[in-house]
Structure 1
Amino acid sequence: MQRYFLNRLIDDKIILTSDQDIFKHFGKVMRARIGSKAEFVDSNQSVFVGEVDSVSNDIISIKVVSKINTNSELPIEVTIVVSPLKNDRSDWLIQKATELGVNHIIMADMKRTVVDWHKQLAKKQARFEKIAKSAAEQSHRLMIPSIEFVNWQTVCNMKKDTGIVAWEESAKAGEKLAFVTQITDQDLKHLVLVFGPEGGLTTEELEILESNGYIAAGLGPRILRAETAPLYALSAISTLCELS
């Protein structure tokens, strides 16, 4: 069943108008008719099943028929910090990270960042948010991840319970347990994960992060692309926290 996000509370009636993206997708793409059903998530992250009871060219009227008690979110709040990537790789990363349960996506300048994200920032932000919203609906999330563009100093000073920086040199040195040890900490509520750009983080950047409380950790013996490493980490978090 299709899921949609509404930025308001839901009572017993949902009215969609022709100027809304939901109307265009549910009414035009999905061809909603009387009796058609969909799931709707309100601003309190409550999920309701709605059934269409009338349709016109301008309005779709939907009655709420049931509430769904479900939780599809990761048990810990996860923020990933990445460098903007070339071509459409950032789009792909945002889509897949959303499907895997990330809460916040931070785009930051790093020493080896090759993309000038300052150009057309508003356009990029709008596109990324649209991708995240669509992915959150497809994967039946209860929330849409936030997306921000920040400077390096903001990353260093971010509030967190635990901060991990993916550092391939740790794996090369044989380190195996840092990531698992931090993720399985029972007191962990908010985790910040930092990943380098295509050329990796510099030693200086690592040292700055470590001085601000981040822990260097390897992600296994293989070298992962900049867009693959965050997805590997999110998958591992799900395995450790939800499937074990």
Structure 2
Amino acid sequence: MPHRYFTAEVGNGRAALNGTDAHHLADVMRAKIGENVILCDAHAVEYVGTITSIQPGRVEFTVTEGYPSAAEPSVEVTLFAGYPKLGKLEDTIRHSVELGVTNVVPFFSRYCVAAPKKEEAKNERYCRVAVEAAKQCGRGILPTVELPLPDFNAVCDRFKDYDLVLFFYECGGVSLREVFNKEPGNRAKRIAVVTGSEGGFAAEEAAHAAECGAVTVGLGPRILRCETAPLAVLSAVMTLTGNLE
């Protein structure tokens, strides 16, 4: 499979990579003139690029006409993830990107065990993890990882931006299949998924989520770990929307 790179410098039949990506392709992968790679413009459009020039810090290509990325799901899903402890967020980001998430938004809530610490520096690392996962799994966009929201009220303030908000509560709720078998679930294109940290959610947080328009959803009789729940949820959402076929 050809290597995959993202670039904003593409158009009029030509493209280029600069900086670290150019170094990786030319010096690490030892690419040669005439070889092909897949280039993505980060807007779900892909191109086959043929290398025409290799210079220090820059690789140039001719490209085919752009075509839609087959890897992008038909729904745009944002994961709001309760901030976990012990570095678990990195794996959640990596696997969520593989499953098709568009945006990851960590947040702190009442029962979070973790506390904010050097979040700007951590976010740089988290964004790199998302980019590498997107390249590895063949995504056509670069999913984003936001700085964590300070509390659950800030999470609920974002609900108005989505067609459907799914709040996964350890105390139960409607089934996910039921949500997608009727409107507005079966028509939703922008979906928010909300999962908790190790401590779960306070009862008043669950009530506030419902007041702000979220659908409270259960995940069966077992309590899932905070690093398991997002992956189970995203797999189910992608399956029920036809994006794992």
- TM normalised by structure 2 equals 0.88
Secondary structure of 2:63 counterpart: strand
Deviations 1:4-44 (A, max 9, x none): 11134433222333xx1211221222221112221111154
Alignment of 1:166-177 (within 5 A): 166-170=168-172
- Preserved CA contact (<8 Å) 1:2 1:138: no
Question: What percent identity do the matched residue pairs reach?
Answer: 30
Instruction: Provide closer, same or farther for how the CA distance between residues 28 and 220 of structure 1 changes in structure 2, counting only shifts above 3 A.
Output: farther
Task: Give the counterpart letter for 2:142 in structure 1.
Answer: I
Deviations 1:114-150 (A, max 9, x none): 2223x22221111111111111111111212222222
Alignment of 1:59-98 (within 5 A): 59-65=58-64, 67-98=66-97
Moved over 6 A (4+): none
Alignment of 1:127-142 (within 5 A): 127-142=125-140
In structure 2, how many angstroms separate the alpha carbons of the residues matched to 1:220 and 1:30? Answer: 46
- Preserved CA contact (<8 Å) 1:9 1:43: no
In structure 2, how many angstroms separate the alpha carbons of the residues matched to 1:145 and 1:58? Answer: 25
Alignment of 1:156-195 (within 5 A): 156-158=156-158, 159=160, 160-170=162-172, 178-184=175-181, 185-195=185-195
Instruction: Provide closer, same or farther for how the CA distance between residues 59 and 217 of structure 1 changes in structure 2, counting only shifts above 3 A.
Output: closer
- Preserved CA contact (<8 Å) 1:9 1:44: no
Secondary structure of 2:235 counterpart: helix
Instruction: Extract unaligned runs of 5+ from structure 2.
Output: none
Alignment of 1:42-57 (within 5 A): 42-57=41-56
- Preserved CA contact (<8 Å) 2:79 2:194: yes
Task: Give the counterpart letter for 1:129 in structure 2.
Answer: C
- Preserved CA contact (<8 Å) 2:9 2:15: no
- The answer as to 2:217 corresponding to 1:217 is yes
Instruction: Look up the match of 1:241.
Output: 241
- Preserved CA contact (<8 Å) 1:82 1:107: yes
Instruction: Look up the match of 1:146.
Output: 144
Instruction: Indicate the RMSD between aligned Cα atoms, in angstroms.
Output: 1.9
- Preserved CA contact (<8 Å) 1:81 1:105: yes
Instruction: Look up the match of 2:231.
Output: 231
Secondary structure of 1:141 counterpart: coil
64-73 vs 90-99, which moves further: 64-73
- TM normalised by structure 1 equals 0.89
Instruction: Provide closer, same or farther for how the CA distance between residues 221 and 53 of structure 1 changes in structure 2, counting only shifts above 3 A.
Output: same
